[in-house]
Structure 1
Amino acid sequence: MKKSLIALAFGTLGLGIAEFVMMGILPDVARDLGISIATAGHLISAYALGVCVGAPMLILARRYQLKYILMFLVGVMMLGNVCAALSPNYWVMLVARFISGLPHGAYFGVASIVAEKLADKGRGSEAVSIMIAGMTIANLFGVPLGTALSASISWRLTFLLVGCWGVIILYYMWRWVPRVENLPDTGLRGQFRFLKSPAPWLILGATLLGNGGTFAWYSYVTPLLTNVAGFPARMITFLMVLAGFGMVVGNLAGGRLSDRFSPGRVAAFAQGMICVALLFIFFFAHISWLAVGLMCLCTAGLFAVSSPQQVLLIRYSKGGEMLGAASVQVAFNLGNAIGAYVGGLPLQAGMSYSYPALVGAPFAFVGCLLLVTFFRKYERRTI
């Protein structure tokens, strides 16, 4: 495995912990800041909205060297997480989470292009999946570690460690990531020209709705596991490890299968699997072992669609590849924000923690339909 791809994965590892650890420590943050769990869910949305604002700003940096753009984005990540660790109240924490999200989509957009440029011929999707692997490793080890630190010491230490991790990212990015050829500058208008085609909109719509459906459930997975599935709070760290393992497997499988078959076909299948799993979670989450198995299936599907969608947007955004690759993360995190919000609605109405999964299932279903439409209209002709 190329060291340069490992360095890129270090970056997504830090971003992954910053984004996903909130699901595991949500009750601790809510208790410490004196807010409800449903209100604490807005901290998830604030990060996602930061992603949506930060990614389009890439067009202002299109003439700069890709390596230096990545290093700047890591610096912003460090700033946001240190501010989160020091937040004295809910409102400061909300702003800190927004800042933490600003570099997320932009980083994925630039890193995806760098990974494809560094990949061996015919292994572009796999190279992108290696870059994204940091996100899955974050869920396998980083999020459980952060959850354990939150339970035993303080949730603030988790965000402080992410800030410190940024120093390591910067060092290895400087050492291992070579300077790659910049993309042709098509001008400000040229960056947006790809949006005239229906293809990218189908991918973005599927990403937004698919992830919205998953995060309607996943944003509240901790209280679901404790209050419905009946697991004691001390087991949450171990269960988060299992969820992260599902993400690792799904991400690697999605990358390899996309190179072997086609990204659109793989993404559509994975999204359909998520829809079915969410329905089963609603009906059977009270069966503890089944709740865990379905959780792993959902998290595997969540990342099985990631690298295919990332690669597809690069291929269907000629002239605006950097913005196109970043826009996937905008759709991903806007879906997260919407999902966290709509998933909290039944909880605010006093319903069971199983209901967010039921709310999410229709979102995932429509996302699957959009991917099937994309495959039939654009990819099937080229296979």
Structure 2
Amino acid sequence: METLTPGRVRLALLSLALGGFGIGATEFVAMGLLPDLAADLLPQQYDASPEHAIAQAGLLISAYALGVVVGAPTIAATSARFPRRTLLLTLLAAFTVGTIASALLPSFGWVLAARFAAALPHGAYFGIASLVAAELMGPGKRAQGVALVLSGLTVANVIGVPSITLLGQVAGWRIAYLAVAAIFALTFVAVLAFVPWQAGDPGATMKRELGAFRRPQVWLALAVGAIGFGGFFAVYSYVSPVVTEVTGLDKTLVPVALIALGLGMTIGNFAGGWLADRDVLRSMFVFFALFAVSLLGFALTAQWAATLFVFLFAIGATASALSPAVQTRLMDVAGDSQTLAAAVNHSALNIGNSLGAWLGGIVIAAGWGYIAPAWVGLVLCGLGVIVAVISAVSSRRVPHTHPATDSIPLP
């Protein structure tokens, strides 16, 4: 990689984070606009039963999440040898096209398919961008590099998602998605201008990358992300009806609730990256415990506006703090399959996204109310802790040292 000035490094990192900003917007804007999507794309169902229509519209969230699950390992395993900037630009072009299609297609089924297609580059982008950022940051700061890339996603939840949600409420959800497509187009230009050329891994093959899946610790790390983060998405997917139906606030305050979540996610992301660079497993357990407390507080007090915003902030902070730890843990235990490891973390998180949205929709459709997904989230959080304990115990039994970096013991 070419020698870069500090200013060029900052611009490169900001360009990578801008891609995360666009991804956060395209993934999470549906949460705030779910009633609007349901009313427009499922008008007959919405007239008959808004709850059932909103629960069905939640499939748009699940479809995006499943696209990430499919795309991350597939693209990462087949493209690890390609130059990284070229790959990033290709993925950003695909994001732009997929998001435009989501905005323009006419029916629920077609929009559902477009959301799946638009999600395919998600995990690979974050995976490749994390590797580029880690190299730009230098040794001993891998988790902080990951956190910088993820910061775009968390800042999107402070600025992008609330503002685009408001735009969607005023001008229509289709205009909101066209605004997201414009962010991806801008990111394409920024990455082309500022991110330095980096070679891919010339020794990478699909067989070698997929070899990561022969490691039990990889599966355990993926399960921690998938199950634990299901608790976050069970709540996040249905924030809008909680604000309006449970707390009884006007829908114009939905963006404020999303800002509270996003601020928590931004602060938690950097805190999690800092702590994960010191002790990955300890940081996971600390933040899982705090996440459980936050979910419990939300479930018990969401009917009051002040505590609603406080616990939404706490849920965002504690869940987001887990992400750099899970990402770094995967990179630690994956051996030579670093590209795949960096990408499949987002498959795991989006299995959690799909699982949380789906289970949340089930309990809402069953008539248990809009708070029921928070109790689902608490159960998933507990299951995530159990898997993390299994991973920690089994890891200590067979210690090894990662050959390339300052990592924790391998299985």
Q: Is 2:81–2:205's contact at 8 Å kept on the other side of the alignment?
A: no
Q: Is 2:224–2:326's contact at 8 Å kept on the other side of the alignment?
A: no
1:245 matched residue in structure 2: 263
Name the SS of the counterpart of 1:183 in structure 2: coil
Q: Is 2:70–2:120's contact at 8 Å kept on the other side of the alignment?
A: yes
Residues 8-66 of structure 1 show CA distances to partners (whole Å, capped at 9, x for unaligned) of: 10111111100011101111111111251011100000101111111122222222111
2:372 matched residue in structure 1: 355
Q: Is 1:117–1:180's contact at 8 Å kept on the other side of the alignment?
A: no
CA distance in 2, matches of 1:358, 1:190: 40
Residues 73-121 of structure 1 show CA distances to partners (whole Å, capped at 9, x for unaligned) of: 1111101110111121101110111111111011111111111111133
Q: Is 1:211–1:336's contact at 8 Å kept on the other side of the alignment?
A: yes
The letter for the 2-side match of 1:114 is V
CA distance in 2, matches of 1:372, 1:324: 20
Give TM-score, length-normalised by structure 2. Answer: 0.89
CA distance in 2, matches of 1:377, 1:3: 41
Q: Is 1:55–1:106's contact at 8 Å kept on the other side of the alignment?
A: yes
The letter for the 2-side match of 1:241 is I
1:27 matched residue in structure 2: 35
Aligned length: 382
Name the SS of the counterpart of 1:2 in structure 2: helix
CA distance in 2, matches of 1:128, 1:44: 24
Note if 1:279 corresponds to 2:296: yes
Give TM-score, length-normalised by structure 1. Answer: 0.96
CA distance in 1, matches of 2:281, 2:175: 40
CA distance in 1, matches of 2:304, 2:391: 36
2:178 matched residue in structure 1: 160
1:104 matched residue in structure 2: 122
Deviation at 1:227, TM superposition (A): 1.1
Consecutive unaligned residues of structure 2, counting only runs of 5 or more, are 1-8, 46-52, 400-407
Q: Is 1:262–1:379's contact at 8 Å kept on the other side of the alignment?
A: no
CA distance in 1, matches of 2:74, 2:142: 25
Please point out which of 338, 343, 349 is paired with 1:332: 349
Q: Is 2:67–2:116's contact at 8 Å kept on the other side of the alignment?
A: yes
Q: Is 1:82–1:160's contact at 8 Å kept on the other side of the alignment?
A: yes
Please point out which of 104, 108, 114 is paired with 2:132: 114
Deviation at 1:214, TM superposition (A): 1.4
Equivalence map 1:117-266=2 (5 Å): 117-259=135-277, 261-266=278-283
CA distance in 2, matches of 1:6, 1:172: 9
Q: Is 1:223–1:353's contact at 8 Å kept on the other side of the alignment?
A: yes
Deviation at 1:184, TM superposition (A): 4.5
The letter for the 2-side match of 1:294 is F
CA distance in 1, matches of 2:35, 2:164: 13
Please point out which of 315, 319, 322 is paired with 1:298: 315
Note if 1:41 corresponds to 2:49: no
Q: Is 1:314–1:321's contact at 8 Å kept on the other side of the alignment?
A: yes
Deviation at 1:284, TM superposition (A): 2.0
Identity between Structure 1 and Structure 2 (%): 35
Consecutive unaligned residues of structure 1, counting only runs of 5 or more, are none
The letter for the 1-side match of 2:216 is P
Q: Is 2:81–2:204's contact at 8 Å kept on the other side of the alignment?
A: no
Name the SS of the counterpart of 1:121 in structure 2: coil
The letter for the 2-side match of 1:32 is D
Superposition CA RMSD, Å: 1.7
